[in-house]
Amino acid sequence: MNQVIGNNEIYYMFTCPRMFYFFLQDETDNVIVENALENDRIRNVKDYFKNISWVDAKKNPEITKRTVKNEADILNPILEGSIKGINLKLAVHALIRKKDKYHIVLSHLSRRPSKRHHVIAASFIFLAKLNGISVSENIIFLRKKSMKTQRIKEEGYLLFLKTFREIANSQEPPPATGTRICNFCGYWEKCHSFNVDDRTKLPVSSIRGIGANMSSIMKSYGISTLGDLIDIPLKKELEEKLKNIIRYKLQAYSFVNDTALFLTKPDLLITNNDNNGVYFDIEADDSPYLFGFLQNDQYKYFLISDNDSRKSQIEDIMKYVEQLKVNLYHYCEYENRVLKELSNEWKQQFKNEGNGDLKNKFLKSFFETPMIDIYEIIIKNIFVPLRHYSLKSIAKWLGFKWRIGLDGRSSIQEYRRWLNTGNKKHLEALLLYNEDDCRATQVVKEWISSPSSFDHKHLILNRRDVDDILNRK
Cβ distance to ligand SF4 smaller for residue 77 or 385: 385
- Please select the residue that binds ligand SF4; options are 5, 10, 13, 16, rule is CB under 6 A: 16
Is 185 a residue that touches ligand SF4 (CB under 6 A)?
yes
Measured in whole angstroms, how far is the alpha carbon of residue 433 from the centre of its chain?
13
Is 210 a residue that touches ligand SF4 (CB under 6 A)?
no
- Please select the residue that binds ligand SF4; options are 54, 188, 302, 415, rule is CB under 6 A: 188
List, as one string, the DSSP characters of 9-36: HHHHHHH-HHHHHHHHH-SS----PPPT
Cβ distance to ligand SF4 smaller for residue 92 or 185: 185
Contact 340, 296 (CB under 8 A): no
Is 394 a residue that touches ligand SF4 (CB under 6 A)?
no
Cβ distance to ligand SF4 smaller for residue 116 or 143: 116
SS3 of 93-157: the string is CEEEEECCEEEEEEECCCCCCCHHHHHHHHHHHHHHHHCCCCECCEEEEEECCEEEEEECCCHHH
Minimum CB distance to ligand SF4, residue 195 (Å): 14
- Please select the residue that binds ligand SF4; options are 182, 261, 395, 430, rule is CB under 6 A: 182
Minimum CB distance to ligand SF4, residue 32 (Å): 13
Contact 398, 450 (CB under 8 A): no
Is 181 a residue that touches ligand SF4 (CB under 6 A)?
yes
Angle CA(304)–CA(310)–CA(314) in degrees, nearest 5? 70
- Please select the residue that binds ligand SF4; options are 187, 302, 375, 383, rule is CB under 6 A: 187
Compose the 120-159 pattern: x for residues touching ligand SF4 by CB under 6 A, - for all others: ----------------------------------------
Angle CA(55)–CA(59)–CA(63) in degrees, nearest 5? 55
Minimum CB distance to ligand SF4, residue 6 (Å): 17
Angle CA(314)–CA(316)–CA(319) in degrees, nearest 5? 105
Is 288 a residue that touches ligand SF4 (CB under 6 A)?
no
- CA atoms of 3 and 25, how far apart (whole Å): 10
Is 176 a residue that touches ligand SF4 (CB under 6 A)?
yes
Compose the 19-58 pattern: x for residues touching ligand SF4 by CB under 6 A, - for all others: x---------------------------------------
Could you tell me which stretch among 99-107, 184-192, 256-264, 463-471 binds ligand SF4 (CB under 6 A)? 184-192
Minimum CB distance to ligand SF4, residue 217 (Å): 24
Contact 120, 105 (CB under 8 A): no
- CA atoms of 436 and 356, how far apart (whole Å): 39
Minimum CB distance to ligand SF4, residue 133 (Å): 34
Q: Which residue is nearest to ligand SF4 (CB)?
A: 178
Residues forming beta bridges with residue 382, ordered by sequence position = 262
How many residues touch ligand SF4 under the rule CB under 6 A: the total is: 11
- CA atoms of 112 and 110, how far apart (whole Å): 5
Sites for ligand SF4 among residues 190-209 (CB under 6 A): 191
Pairing of strands 458-460, 260-262: parallel
Alpha carbons within 13 angstroms on the beta-carbon side of residue 278 total 23
Sequence-distant (≥ 6) Cβ neighbours of residue 231 within 8 angstroms? 471
Cβ distance to ligand SF4 smaller for residue 369 or 393: 393
Minimum CB distance to ligand SF4, residue 233 (Å): 32
Footprint on this chain of ligand SF4 (rule: CB under 6 A): 16, 18-19, 176, 178, 181-182, 185, 187-188, 191
